[in-house]
Structure 1
Amino acid sequence: MGDLKEYRAEIDRIDRELVRLFEERMEVSEQIGAYKIENGVKVFDKTRERQKLDEVKGLAHGAFNQHGVEELFSQLMSMSRKKQYAMLEKRGAGGRLPFIGVDRLDTDHIRVVFQGVEGAYSQAAMTAFFGEDVNSFHVARFRDAMEAIAEGSADYAVLPIENSTAGIVADNFDLLVDFENYIVAEQIIPVEHVLMGIKDADLSSVRIVYSHPQALAQCEGLFQAHPDWKAEPFGNTALAARKVAQDGRKDEAAIGSAFAARRFGLQVLKTHISDEEANATRFMIVTNQRIFRKDARKISICFELPHSSGTLYNILSHFIFNNINMTHIESRPIPQRSWEYRFFIDFEGNLAEPSVKNALRGIREEAINMKILGNY
């Protein structure tokens, strides 16, 4: 039995040979890529790769080595594909993405739809992005808003997509798949709950507080400090504010935004009432046009994957090889297909960048039903 130094020297020798063979393999892969470009052959040949994996797996001895060889060659072929995708882009054969870059969004003479009622956080997000004087209307459901821009009765829709404490708005992820509408901007609104009442009310007069159940739960400390107050769940924060304004009773108050208080002519009785101060909601600005601002820095996509081992790992490797920073990943069950999932990913970049085009080409070829949801 030899000593450790001898074993390590032997490993070093083998590794040098592996590197030499790897570079030799990549040179041949580049020649294959050139052939594919010249003859219009797709980079990803799933059948050929499966045959190759079965072949090399059969050359190894023992279950452990067979599994290891399969994983090793799976990654080798993945790297070869990425090399060939980069060649396509470099030679101008990558094709054009179906999105048009614009210097700015058209916000003149537009109509905007938001989900909810007057005074809702969605309306606050809309006015923060488009201004107080924007021509707008509101609808009851998220789907109604998406249908409004799909049919052209509105130019833009403002919809919540994620809250920093409550998580994603799952329905809106699914709607991005159902409609040919695209994210062109986002607006983040701090969720800063206040207690509001009519002009003659004060803290000593309050006996009942209305709000959305989630908002009530986020202000538990307020009710602990006022054990004689009754928390009454209501449809949403804006409707709660409207009820208090319409009832005109000093013993009623609502929890919601200062924006809602202004909208319904209420006075703010107490600010900073949330238990969690770092709370914000991210809203997406959506349109039916395939456009993106030329200075956009975030991209959202979704895709489905074959139900087999390693598929998600291989897809995510396209971000690594192209030095792209992925910022968010979410999975959603696919309707009518039990135990199958669709993935939603946000990452940094612009659709005009070669590295982004390269990554998206690879993902499009290897995933199922990839869709670019927007660049914003």
Structure 2
Amino acid sequence: MDLLELRGKIDEIDEQIVALYERRMDISRQVAEYKIGTGKKVFDKAREEEKLRKVKALTHNEFNSHGIEELFEQIMSMSRKLQYGLLTEHGSIGRLPFIGVDHLYEEKARVVFQGAEGAYSQAAMIQYFGDKINSFHVDTFRDAMIAIDEGSADFAVLPIENSTAGIVSEIYDLLAEFENYIVGEQIIKIEHCLMALPGTRTEDIETVYSHPQSLMQSARFLNEYGWQQISMQNNAFAARKVADSGDKHKAAIASEYAAGLYGLEVLVKGVNQSSTNSTRFIIVTNQKIFLKDAKKVSICFEVPHESGSLYHMLSHFIYNNLNMNRIESRPIEGRNWEYRFFIDFDGNLSDSSVKNALRGLREEARNMRILGNY
């Protein structure tokens, strides 16, 4: 039998597979209609696991057994997507506990940021809320989350990602820990400056203070010198420490605004190696609200420690035509080698495709949470 004949036989089999697939999906549609009428859940993990065992037992070698498992996992996944879609069409998708609003805040809103006066977080706050906002600052990111959690502030401004140094992992962990929600974001350009007491020369400097990420972003510049580098909670704290020390052997890396605020002299501007260095800040509140024209959704969830688990969760975005633009993972405390995944994707909580995807994720993932729509 030549190649053309073999390919012809494959084509015949493929036509049968397509016909059987469509027949199976038609029956899945009927199953969905039954579940809608009886209130049964779409995802039945025990039923699917038993199905996989049965179809694998029909094969004759390990290679085919593995292939059939993957094939039927996909078929059952598609069946669930069809059923979730029908639930949406019948109005059975349920309401999400978030309220769409036209405006996030009023002039009397109180905002908290981490750091001291002159911090980049303060600059991000002013760009987002304006310079007449009622604000205060705290020492740590956790303090900021506690402030909005307890109601002493309406919003917090927190850095979540830098274009050079990457994510601020502590913020991701705090988002998972606290029942607070992202309602906005602000990106600001970062230009780090080396600063010290007036009259200081670079050859006088022995120690440089700054936030760990700022030291990392300025590593190329700092590597030219043998200065001791000391991490601080915030760049503005570093500038204030140098100003209070009265010591010309100390310098800080912070913003030009912080230098002016604390009476320091800028020795070198733009010490960060990237001229396009930017930081993305998120605006967080303890209210389940979102702007009606919001365009990005953030969620987090956990998955079973099994092969293919994450792939199946991500398929909800694929089959609902949702553009996923970020995925990060963080270890789960107390559970070695298990991870929580954070995902950003385009959409609005009022969109049917978003509701459909979230319903599937809620049923199939562990501890799925909507972190915000902004």
- TM (norm. structure 2) is 0.93
The 1:257/1:83 distance shift into structure 2, 3 A limit, reads: same
CA distance in 2, matches of 1:73, 1:145: 47
* Aligned residue number for residue 36 of structure 2: 37
Q: Is the 8 A contact 2:208 2:229 kept in 1?
A: yes
Tell me the C-alpha RMSD between the 2 structures. Answer: 2.0
- Name the aligned partner's letter for residue 363 of structure 2: E
Shift of 1:273: 2.1
- Please, which moves more after superposition, 338-347 or 207-216? 207-216
CA 1:311/1:224 → structure 2, altered by over 3 Å: closer, same or farther?
A: closer
Residue type at the aligned position of 1:283: F
Code of the aligned partner of 1:88: L
Matched, 1:285 2:283: yes
Deviations 1:12-31 (A, max 9, x none): 11111111111111111111
TM-score by length of 1: 0.93
- Structure 1 residue 255 corresponds to structure 2 residue 258: no
Distance in 2 separating the partners of 1:72 and 1:178: 37
Partner residue of 2:316 out of 299, 315, 318:
318
- Give the AA of the match of 2:252: A
Distance 1:205 1:87, change over 3 A: same
Shift in Å at residue 271 of structure 1? 1.9
- In structure 1, C-alpha distance between the alignment counterparts of 2:369 and 2:48, rounded to whole Å: 25
Distance 2:230 2:142 in 1: 24
Q: Which runs of 5+ in 2 are unaligned?
A: none
Q: Partners in 2 of 1:108 and 1:38 — Cα distance?
A: 49
Q: Following TM superposition, by how much is the alpha carbon of 1:222 offset from its aligned partner in structure 2, in angstroms?
A: 4.0
What residue in structure 2 maps to residue 294 of structure 1? 292
2:199 is paired with a residue whose SS is coil
Relative to structure 1, the CA distance from residue 164 to residue 82 in structure 2 (aligned partners, 3 Å threshold; closer, same or farther) is: same
Amino acid at match of 1:233: I
Q: State the one-letter code of the partner of 2:5.
A: E
Task: Kindly tell me the number of residue pairs found equivalent between the two proteins.
Answer: 372
Deviation (angstroms), 1:164: 1.9
The aligned runs of 1:40-119 (5 Å cut-off) are 40-119=39-118
Partner of residue 141, structure 2: 142
Deviation at 1:253, TM superposition (A): 4.0
Determine whether 1:155 maps to 2:145.
no
Q: Partner letter of residue 314 of structure 1?
A: H
Partner amino acid, structure 2, of 1:307: H
> CA shift at 1:103, angstroms?
1.3
Q: Deviations over 1:254-308 (max 9, x none)?
A: 3211221232243434322222223222111100000111111111111111121
Change (3 A) 1:224 1:341: closer
2:179 maps to 180
Q: For structure 1, which runs of at least 5 residues remain unmatched after alignment?
A: none
Identity %: 60
SS at match of 2:361: helix
The change in CA–CA distance for 1:177 and 1:109 in structure 2 (over 3 A counts) is same
Partner of 2:16: 17
Please give the alpha-carbon distance, in whole angstroms, between the structure 1 residues aligned to 2:290 and 2:329.
25
| 1:201 corresponding residue in structure 2 | 199
In the alignment, the residues of structure 2 paired with residue 53 and residue 64 of structure 1 have an alpha-carbon distance, to the nearest angstrom, of 15
2:120 and 2:306 map into 1 onto residues whose CA distance is: 41
Moved more, 137-146 or 365-374: 137-146
**3-state SS of the aligned residue for 1:211?**
strand
The farther-off stretch of 346-355 and 255-264 is 255-264
Q: Conserved in 1, the CA contact under 8 Å of 2:165 and 2:217?
A: no
1:146–1:175: 8 Å Cα contact kept in structure 2? yes
Amino acid at match of 2:61: G
Q: Provide closer, same or farther for how the CA distance between residues 310 and 221 of structure 1 changes in structure 2, counting only shifts above 3 A.
A: closer
Q: Deviations over 1:46-104 (max 9, x none)?
A: 11111111111111211111111111111111100000101111111101111011112
1:305-354 per-position Cα deviation (integer Å, ceiling 9, x unaligned): 11212111111001110111111111111111222211111111111111
- The residue number in structure 2 matching 1:192 is 191
Aligned equivalent of 2:369? 371
8 A contact 2:165–2:216 mirrored in 1: no
1:217–1:167: structure 2 CA closer, same or farther, 3 Å change rule?
Answer: closer
1:238 matched to which residue of 2? 236
In structure 1, C-alpha distance between the alignment counterparts of 2:231 and 2:220, rounded to whole Å: 19
User: Displacement of 1:224 after TM fit?
Assistant: 6.4
Aligned match for 2:271, one of 270, 273, 276 = 273
Distance in 1 between the 2:75 and 2:218 partners? Answer: 54
Sort the Cα spacing of 1:252 and 1:304 in 2 relative to 1 into closer, same or farther, 3 A. Answer: closer
Report if the CA contact (8 A) 1:201-1:251 is conserved.
no
* 56-65 vs 365-374, greater mean Cα deviation: 56-65
1:191 CA displacement: 1.9
The Cα of 1:205 is off from its aligned counterpart by 7.8
Whole-Å separation in 1 of the counterparts to 2:176 and 2:238: 32
Instruction: Indicate conservation of the 8 Å contact 1:209/1:255, yes or no.
Output: no
CA contact (8 A) 1:98 1:290 kept: yes
Q: SS state of the match for residue 65, structure 2?
A: helix
Relative to 1, partners in 2 of residues 1:251 and 1:74: Cα closer, same or farther, differing over 3 Å?
closer
Distance 1:276 1:231, change over 3 A: farther
Q: Secondary structure at the match of 2:161?
A: strand
AA in 1 matched with 2:335: R
CA displacement, residues 85-136 of structure 1 (integer Å, 9 cap, x when unaligned): 0111111110111101111211420111111222222222112211222211
